[in-house]
Amino acid sequence: MDYSIVILALPFLMFLTLALAGNKMSQKFAGLLGTTGLLVITILSYMVTFQYFGMPRVEGVREALMPYNFEWLSFTDKLTINLGILLDPISVMMLVVITTVSLMVHIYSMGYMHGEKGFQRYYAFLSLFTFSMLGLVVATNIFQMYIFWELVGVSSYLLIGFYYTKPAAVSASKKAFIVTRFADLGFLIGILLLSFYTETFSFDQLTAEGGFFLTSTSGATFMGCSVASWAMALIFMGGAGKSAMFPLHIWLPDAMEGPTPVSALIHAATMVVAGVYLVARLFPVYLSVPDVLELITWVGAITALYAAIVACVQSDIKRVLAFSTISQIAFMMVALGVCTSMIPGEGGLGYMASMFHLFTHAMFKALLFLGAGAVIHAVHSNEMSDMGGLRKYLPITHITFLIACLAIAGIPPFSGFFSKDEILAAAFNKSTFWGVWMTVVAAITAFYMFRLYFGIFWGKEAKHEHTPHESPATMTVPLIILAVVTCVAGFIPFGEFVTSNGTAYHIHIDPVVATTSVVCAVVAILLATWLFAKPNTKPEKMQAALPKLHKWAYNRFYMDNVYQYITHKIIFARISKPIAWFDRHIIDATMDMFATVTNVAADKIKGFQSGKLQSYVWVYIVGAMVIAVAAMLIFI
Amino acid sequence: MENIGNEVIFYIIAAVMLIFSVMTVTTKHLLRSATYLLFVLFGTAALYFQLDYHFLGAVQVAVYAGGIVVLFVFSILLTQGLGQNKEKIKSSKLVLALSAAILGAVVCGYSLFTHIFPASRYAMGEEITMKTVGQVLLGSERYQYVLPFELISVLLLACIIGGIMIARKR
Amino acid sequence: MEIPFIYYLIVSGVMFFAGVYGFIARRNMLAILISLELMLNAVDINFAVFNRYLYPGAMEGFFFTLFAIAIAAAETAIAIAIIINIYRNIKNIKSDNLDKMKN
């Protein structure tokens, strides 16, 4: 599979071409060029996928392939940084997800971004992002992953701040960058800890069977926890930052300031699941530190609940989708966290479920975002109050959006049902507590998604400046394609392809779990229908009945204010200000003092530089004599 | 008797040189100053003759007395208008100049009189013949000076060109 | 009876410091140049005297004097050319007036 390198090289080439020569091209040409490039990449990715999954299993296990792996930097004899391509079930699966969604977004953007200033730049950044994300998933070692991880962060920053004349976009991009960078600090420390003890960066060595990781860190502890736990928890912190886990989630809702297709690609389908991917990538290592898995479960569960509740009251449709993304990613995290063994049949189900949900979620969430983009395109507003009753004007968007909503709500036969069911089953396997928790969150998910759906397409019709009209074909075609994928993806025998230990696993639906979750979802949908389908005052009444809760949820439980308080009142005022004071009054002042002394001294002695020849001679002669006298005194 | 004559001649030369070198720098008339300089230069040439460096004495007379002083006189006459050739010395400058000169003289005199020089080997010396001078000046062996000689010739050429370039009217 | 060579040194020393005095005290550039010639001559005498009295077999002092005379001639020629040029520009050759480069 030597051609897999093209999958990486081509987007980078597209990026360079579009970034350097983009302004020389017409918008249409740049868009077509970017889309064609991505089409080629997508086809190549599918070829890799078919070839990879077409290969026979070795001893019942899908083997990891490494078509490329060359040494880039060597620190010590053992510790080297390699660059290469790793093909194994999850990376191949991610290739499909990324290229598919990216292709859809490329096509969609030709319509959505039509005529925007900086169209070529937009496509250049999309290519850069695709390159980075593909590099991230095929990384052979954790350091390569880290490099691409940062590149992904940069392209995300660039795309969030695409409308750089809008202050909100600028501050949102800064926020996203800083928060994820802060989390990546933990990631980096984790990598360093890990590599210090195991003397390797390479995934295949780290995840090798036989507890290689544990034996090499055995005995080392820090603050009551083993170093292994610390390292893995810190690495998880990086993942939590990228995947917007509570409490590092605050950047994602703001990131919606970027263009909607970008939100679909980066902040819903691909980049934000990098954290999940990271945990899955190091899954065998995480299994050996159960306390960290416990932490992941808790973080995921709290995030899922928190984001779901907040999503119920947001009025900006992109924010609702952002919180639903956070919630769904948290589902995947929980699925990984509740695993207890590598074998999919006995406790390792969560891994498969998580990856499955990642796959289906990427498709239907991209669909939701693109649909939201079509709605925004039609009414030129993000606010739900400006919408309502759009089903007449946007029939294609309406149907595809409904399919996506049904999928995310977990209604069979749409894809979300199958993957979510596996997650719930995995959670129930671990303990009833987690199972019930996640079922409740799933029900809330169904509720807020249908609140959104009814708010946009039903309900009271808002006044429009001009009649909303269906989007052009470049926008509706991706919607239809993704809707079809959403309809059929659930029937993919995912267990055949991706499982925790590479063996085949036949997905079977647990009837009790499935029935419970479907009933809960249906009840939630009915509730939403009752509340929001027709214009009425019931929502206001509910809001009045629970004023505190509504206010808190509407303000996202004041998490941003907490951050504001911590950064401004504590870090800036208590730490940064004294440091700045020290810098200004001690360090700078010392330097200033040197300058002042030099200045004053120069001012005093500049009289010597009189330009008068004779005074120079006088100084010269007297100086020579003084030196002569001094020499005589010293040497004689 | 020859030695005594020699001595007397030296004292005369020395006295002339001392007096006129001081007068060179103290006289207010530039032209006089140049004239006194001429005497000092002649005295120097006489000293060279006395040291048996006849060639050096001849060069001194030819170059300095014949060339440089004439140049001085010309340029003085070119640059000084009539009645303008007097100058007053500012007292502050006088103090500076005197202090430097006296300090230098004291330091040098002190070291001259306290330093023990090696014994004089005057008697072993003999006159340097023209042949030796010519050979050493144009020889390329060790302790021979063709390279500095050539360098100086180039320098002189550069001086001629430079002098013309600087002084010519634009 | 030979003349003690320190006498020569005294003469040259007096010449030299007379030159120093003149160099610093005089304002006229030509006077300064004359003082400079005095100093150069004093140094030349020293070279010749040390050579003659202490190392009669060698000829370094002799040739140093010779070359110094040649260089002094060159230097004087250039200096006078410059002075004449200055005179042409500012109509006098007082050293106090020559601080244009500084301001």
Residue C64 in any domain: the answer is yes
User: Which chains contact A through at least 3 pairs of Cβ atoms less than 8 Å apart?
Assistant: B, C
- Determine the average pLDDT of the residues in A587-612: 86
The mean per-residue pLDDT over the stretch A217-243 comes to: 78
What pLDDT, in 10s, does the model give residues B25-57? Answer: 988 888 889 999 999 999 999 999 888 888 899
Q: Find residues 78-97 of chain B whose CB sits inside 8 Å of chain A.
A: 93, 96-97
Least confident of A434-448, A535-549, A569-583, B139-153: A535-549
> Which of A235-239, A426-430, A622-626 has the least mean pLDDT?
A426-430
pLDDT at A77 over 80: no
Which of C84, C35, C71 minimizes the C-alpha distance to B34? C35
Residue type for position A542 = M
Confidence of residue C102 (pLDDT cuts 50, 70, 90): low
Residues 6+ apart with CB under 8 A from B32: B23
Residue B33 lies in a domain: yes
Q: Which of C2, C40, C41 is the best residue to mutate to test the B interface, defined by the most B CB atoms within 10 Å of its own CB? A: C41
- Nearest-CB residue to C99 (from A612, A617, A621): A612
Against chain C, the chains showing at least 3 CB pairs within 8 Å are: A, B
SS3 of B140, please? Answer: coil
Q: Do B96 and A632 touch (CB under 8 A)?
A: no
Express each pLDDT in A86-104 by its tens digit: 888 888 888 888 898 888 8
| Contact yes or no for B41 and C37 at CB 8 A | yes
C98, A613: Cβ pair inside 8 Å?
Answer: yes
Question: Are both B66 and B9 inside the same structural domain?
Answer: yes
Are residue B133 and residue B77 in the same domain, yes or no?
no
Confidence of residue A216 (pLDDT cuts 50, 70, 90): low
Does B92 fall in a domain? Answer: no
Q: Which of A611, A617, A621 sits opposite C99 (nearest CB)?
A: A611
Determine if residue A81 is left, alpha or beta; phi over 0 gives left, psi from -120 to 50 gives alpha, anything else beta. beta
Which of B9, B28, B68 should one mutate to test binding to chain C, selecting the residue with the greatest count of C CBs within 10 A?
B68
* C94 CA: distance to closest CA in chain A (Å): 11
Reported as a pLDDT band with limits 50, 70 and 90, residue A465 is low
> Residues with Cβ < 8 Å from A529, sequence gap 6 or more?
A450, A454
B33–chain A nearest CA distance, Å? 19
* Structural domain boundaries, residue C31: 5-92
Looking at the domain assignment, is residue C62 inside a domain?
yes
Yes or no, beta carbons of A632 and B97 under 8 Å apart: no
- Token representation of residue C73: 């001639």
CB neighbours (10 Å) of residue A522? 15
Burial bucket for residue A73 (CB in 10 Å: 0-12, 13-18, 19+): exposed
How far is it, in rounded angstroms, from Cα A401 to Cα A169? 26
Please tell me the pTM assigned to this model. 0.67
How close C73 comes to chain B (CA, Å)?
Answer: 7
Query: Could you tell me how many CB contacts below 8 A there are between chain B and chain C?
Result: 234
Q: Is residue C102 part of a domain?
A: no
> What is the signed CA dihedral for B36, B41, B44, B45, rounded to 10 degrees?
-130
- Domain-located, residue C98: no
Cβ–Cβ below 8 Å for C7 and B10: yes
| Long-range CB pairs of A526-531, under 8 A, 24+ apart, other chains included | A527/A447, A528/A446, A528/A447, A528/A448, A528/A450, A528/A451, A528/A453, A528/A454, A529/A450, A529/A454, A531/A451
CATH of residue C67's domain is: 1.10.287.3510
Picking from B99, B104, B111, the nearest residue to A632 by CB comes out as B111
Mean pLDDT of A71-93: 82
Asked if B100 and C21 come within 8 Å (Cβ–Cβ), the reply is yes
- Do B11 and B67 lie in one domain? The reply is yes
Question: B111, A629: Cβ pair inside 8 Å?
Answer: no
Q: Are B101 and C20 in contact (CB under 8 A)?
A: yes
Nearest to C11 among B18, B109, B133 (CB): B18
Note whether B15 and B79 are same-domain residues.
yes
Contact flag B97-A618 (C-beta cutoff 8 Å): yes
Q: How far apart are CA A447 and CA A411, in angstroms?
A: 12
Residue A96 CA from chain centroid, whole number: 17
Flag if B96 and A615 touch (Cβ within 8 Å): yes
Q: Provide the number of structural domains found in chain C.
A: 1
Give residue B87's pLDDT. 65
Q: What percent of chain B clears pLDDT 90, i.e. is strictly above it?
A: 27
- The dihedral formed by the CA atoms of A337, A340, A343 and A347, expressed in degrees to the nearest 10: -90
Question: Residue B96: inside a domain, yes or no?
Answer: no
**Closest-CA residue of chain B to C40:** B41
Q: DSSP letters along A426-472, please? A: HHHHH-HHHHHHHHHHHHHHHHHHHHHHHHHHSSSPPP-SS---PPP
pLDDT of residue B16: 93
Supply the range of the domain harboring residue B32.
Answer: 1-83
Q: Do A612 and C101 touch (CB under 8 A)?
A: no
Residue in the structure block whose two tokens are 């191949």? A92
For chain C positions 20-59, those within 8 Å of chain B (CB to CB) are: 20-28, 30-31, 33-35, 37-38, 41, 44-45, 48-49, 52-59
CB-based contact, C74 to chain B, within 8 Å: yes
> What is the ipTM metric for this complex?
0.90
The residue out of B68, B83, B98 marking a domain boundary is B83
The partner residue sitting opposite B25, judged by closest CB among C8, C22, C30, is C22
- Residue B62 falls within a domain, yes or no? yes
- Is C51 within a domain? yes
Q: Which residues of B touch A615 (CB under 8 A)?
A: 96
Dihedral through CA A28, CA A34, CA A37, CA A38, nearest 10?
Answer: -120
Q: Which of the residues B79, B127, B150 would you substitute to probe the C interface, choosing the one with the greatest number of C C-beta atoms within 10 Å?
A: B79
Q: Which residue has the higher pLDDT, A536 or C63?
A: C63
Q: Is the minimum CB–CB distance between C98 and chain B shorter than 8 Å?
A: no
Residue C48 maps to a domain: yes
B165 inside domain: yes
Q: Concatenate the DSSP letters of all residues of B29-59 into one string.
A: -HHHHHHHHHHHHHHHHHHHHHTT-HHHHHH
Q: Say whether residue A565 is in contact with chain B using an 8 A CB cutoff.
A: no
Give the minimum alpha-carbon distance from C91 to chain A in angstroms, rounded to a whole number.
19
Q: How many CB atoms lie under 10 A from the CB of residue A552?
A: 15
Q: Chain B: give the shortest CA distance to residue C6, in Å.
A: 8
Q: Which of B6, B30, B104 lies nearest to residue C31, judging by beta carbons?
A: B30
- Does residue B123 belong to any structural domain of this protein? no
CA of A613: which chain C residue's CA is closest?
A: C95
End of a domain among B50, B83, B116?
Answer: B83
Q: Give the model confidence (pLDDT) of B120-135 as tens digits.
A: 887 777 778 888 888 8
**If you average pLDDT over residues A573-592, what whole number do you get?**
88
Task: Count structural domains, chain B.
Answer: 2
Q: Give the distance from residue B90's alpha carbon to the nearest chain A alpha carbon, in angstroms.
A: 13
Indicate the residue of B56, B148, B155 with minimum beta-carbon distance to C48.
B56
pLDDT at A211: 56
B72 inside domain: yes
pLDDT at B41: 92
Q: Are residues B2 and B56 in the same domain?
A: yes
Domain-embedded: residue C21: yes
Asked if residue B88 belongs to a domain, the reply is: no
Backbone angles phi, psi at A58, to 5 degrees: -100, 115
